[in-house]
Structure 1
Amino acid sequence: MEVRLIWGNYVSADLKKTAAFYTALGFKRNDNQQNDEFVSFIFGETSHFIINFFTEERLSKPVNGGLSIPVSSNEVIFSLSAESREEVDQWAEKVMQAGGTIFSEPQPYEQGYTFGFADPDGHKFNFLYWPGM
């Protein structure tokens, strides 16, 4: 047996704002139709990782995980790979232009280089350059 795809599911307070943010970052949409309950994006063409952003009504039901928008913490931070320190800096600029929040400025981290950001709903990510990866 093999896992072919991985999906992450988040709550979005405003699907149009979420769609505009991730589109501005250059991520490819995964949903092919207009839908009032979710938008979906592919993160990494070869990793087969998809993040769906659903309305709170859709994910608040216990059968769907009982999820909500984090207020003061996150359950997970997804790390997105970059090919160089310069690319990390370029992503930081792109995130700021798209309206994201930088919570950790670009900086060396052990042998790598990283920065952390939050999307309009406060979901946290970081971009990371790690030599040899």
Structure 2
Amino acid sequence: MAITTFINLPVRDLATAAEFFRSIGFTGAQPSPDRTSLMLDLNDTTQLILHIASAFAEHTQLAITDTEASREVIVGLAAESREQVDELVDRAVAAGGNALGPGQDVGGRYLRGFRDLDGHQWSFVHQVG
């Protein structure tokens, strides 16, 4: 059974956030009927759903995390090589994201992270060997 992953995040501006994520490889931009959310595809089993803050708060019935003060989640995605990890993070930084330092070798994995335009933390990981 294939399990699809839906990553839901609040954003300040749907169009700007969608363009950022398209620059690192997400595709499409399917808006919700009320245009408060937008779905992008990374692959056949991973979708990113961006919500304007009020729509996200309505779904969760909780306050939205202030990404300047705390982390709600770190999204980690597998990459095919060390080079791809660096390429993807470099593309995120070129699109306005913030790098979280150089790549690291940790427990047989190479990883490197960044924060997107809304402060959500992401990492790309390559399993070494």
Native 8 Å contact 1:28 1:41 kept in 2: yes
- In the alignment, the residues of structure 2 paired with residue 34 and residue 100 of structure 1 have an alpha-carbon distance, to the nearest angstrom, of 29
Moved over 3 A (4+): 32-36
Does 2:36 correspond to 1:37? yes
Question: How far apart are 1:32 and its partner, in Å?
Answer: 5.8
RMSD: 2.2
Checking the alignment, whether the CA contact within 8 Å between 1:30 and 1:50 is kept in structure 2 is no
* TM-score, with structure 2 as normaliser: 0.84
103, 122, 126: which one aligns with 1:125:
122
Equivalent pair of 2:6/2:47 in contact (CA under 8 Å)? yes
Cα distance 1:72–1:90, how it changes in 2: closer, same or farther (>3 A)? same
Residue type of the partner of 2:94?
Q
Letter of the 2:38 partner, please give it. V
CA contact (8 A) 2:25 2:42 kept: no
- CA-to-aligned-CA distance 1:1-53 (integer Å, 9 cap, x gap): x67433221110111110110111121125167863112112333xx121211
Q: What displacement does 1:93 show?
A: 1.5
Query: CA 1:28/1:67 → structure 2, altered by over 3 Å: closer, same or farther?
Result: farther
> How many pairs are equivalent?
127
Instruction: State percent identity of aligned pairs.
Output: 25
- Are 1:55 and 2:56 matched, yes or no? no
* 2:85 maps to which of 68, 83, 88: 88
User: Cα distance, 1:95 vs. partner?
Assistant: 1.3
**TM-score (norm. length: structure 1):** 0.82
How much does 1:102 deviate? 0.8
For structure 1, the 5+ residue unaligned runs are: none
